[in-house]
Amino acid sequence: MLLQPTRPQSLRLASRAIDSGDVERGCAVRRRVARIAATLLVFLAAVARTRLVSADPRHDTNIETIAPIIKRCARIEGRCRQLGHLARLVGRTGFLGLQMPAQWRFRSPGPIDMQAMNAFNSLVHTIASQSESSWGIFELFKSKFGGSGWSSSESWAIGDLHSLMAASADNAPAFIAAFWDGCEEVRGQYPEVGLPDVDIVNGILFDHGVPYEIRPPELLPRNPQTPIPVQAPEKSIGECAVELIHASLDQADRLLLEQRPRQAVQEILWLLETVSTAFQGIDTGTGTVAGKYFNDIIRDLRAKHPGRTLAEALGWMTKMHGFLSSPPGGGVRHGTQLAADVSPTLKEAHLYCNLTRSYIGYLLAEIADLNSA
């Protein structure tokens, strides 16, 4: 019963409260648990030192019996100290780390070049030079970039940090997040140390062509383009079709955010071809649309609406589709030439995706009109 208030659920409650930003509530729980654990440690340590044994063998309190309890109390007290630091960090910064798409942490969207890496390494040196505990600051940043344990000296810590930062440079977003998290932890542990603000960090990213910027609490692609909205009329195509369209558009947006331009264009072209099949068997007023595949359907639609906006728009659509399908052209649908590698760049992918979004929206509106006629 004595250990009941220090049960793990209490610490989890404190941790969740602090993580969610409710620092006051989390700290109140943490302080209560810490006081109980500290009191128990004092009492049990005294019992261990004197090896008190009850006269009743059923109440044996020798050191073998209480050792596990001492260990548990020590772990609880250590966790309370961690939560105390966490609370200070959240209280100062308002967040625990940069927010970004989870995929960026597990699959690199691109590296950060060595010159940019060296610029951030120099910033760490500038930060550490302001404190008498410079070695500790280097070790703190080491832990953020995947290091474990202290180096044998400060000079070794400096070298080890540079190696860890170089090894982390293959994933630019994760690298930036590690540096930023290190700065925020320095803010909590070394309040007297001056830190680079967001403009300085973003300036380094811009100067070295790293296509991200920090907008606390988020890490974002620089100058992301707003996608053209697509209205999918549920009455004319059905609920399942609407869900499919939005899922595909969302997937294309995620791929652009992850800086995977070819895959994003492939996804939205697939959706364009899929939407075109909704014209199969529709009476357009000048005949029923025949064909099973994109090119056949579009060709038949154009033939049935000569001289109209629909025919012109379908012509533009067909030209873009053909270019992106060609290996020496866009190199998206039917592969690319190995020697040339003409895959689209990110800005080209944004262009193709927005053009295709506008075409999809136009086709869906035409389908709705034809079905309501």
Tens digits of per-residue pLDDT, 53-112? 444 444 444 445 555 655 555 555 555 555 554 444 444 434 458 988 888 888 888 899
**CATH number belonging to domain 234-372:** 1.20.120
Measured at the CA of 268, the angle between CA 262 and CA 274, to 5 degrees, comes to: 135
Predicted local confidence at residue 81, as pLDDT: 52
Per-residue pLDDT at 155: 95
Q: 179-221 pLDDT, tens per residue?
A: 999 999 999 899 999 999 999 999 999 899 898 999 888 998 8
Tokens representing 7 are: 């049960």
Tens-level pLDDT at each residue, the chain (373 residues): 344 444 445 555 555 554 454 555 555 655 566 556 556 555 555 555 554 444 444 444 444 555 565 555 555 555 555 555 444 444 443 445 898 888 888 888 889 999 999 999 999 999 999 999 999 999 999 999 999 889 999 999 999 999 999 999 999 999 999 999 999 999 989 999 999 999 999 999 989 989 899 988 899 887 666 677 777 666 666 778 888 888 898 888 888 877 788 899 999 999 999 888 888 888 777 778 877 888 888 888 888 888 888 889 999 999 999 888 888 777 787 666 555 566 788 888 999 999 999 999 998 888 888 777 6
Say if residue 335 is exposed, middle or buried (CB neighbours under 10 Å; 0-12, 13-18, 19+).
Answer: exposed
pLDDT of amino acid 86? 45
Return d(Cα 100, Cα 251) in angstroms, integer.
16
pLDDT of residue 325: 85
Place of tokens 């109440």: 59
Domain ranges, ordered by start, for the chain: 4-93, 102-221, 234-372
Distance from CA of residue 247 to its chain's centroid?
Answer: 19
Which tokens hold the place of 196?
């680079």
Residue 18 tokens read as 């602090």
Token pair, residue 100, equals 């970004």
Query: What are the tokens at 149?
Result: 């344990």
In the prediction, which pLDDT does 336 show? 64
For position 123, what pLDDT does the model report? Answer: 97
Q: Where are the alpha helices (DSSP H) in the chain?
A: 8-19, 23-50, 63-93, 102-106, 114-128, 134-144, 154-168, 172-189, 198-207, 234-237, 239-257, 261-276, 294-304, 309-325, 346-372
Count the Cβ atoms, other than its own, within 10 Å of residue 153: 10
Task: Tell me what pLDDT residue 55 has.
Answer: 45
pTM: predicted TM-score of the whole model, two decimal places? 0.50
Q: Which pLDDT score, from 0 to 100, does residue 36 have?
A: 61
CA dihedral 300, 301, 303, 306 (to 10 degrees): -170
Q: How do beta strands 212-215 and 218-221 pair?
A: antiparallel
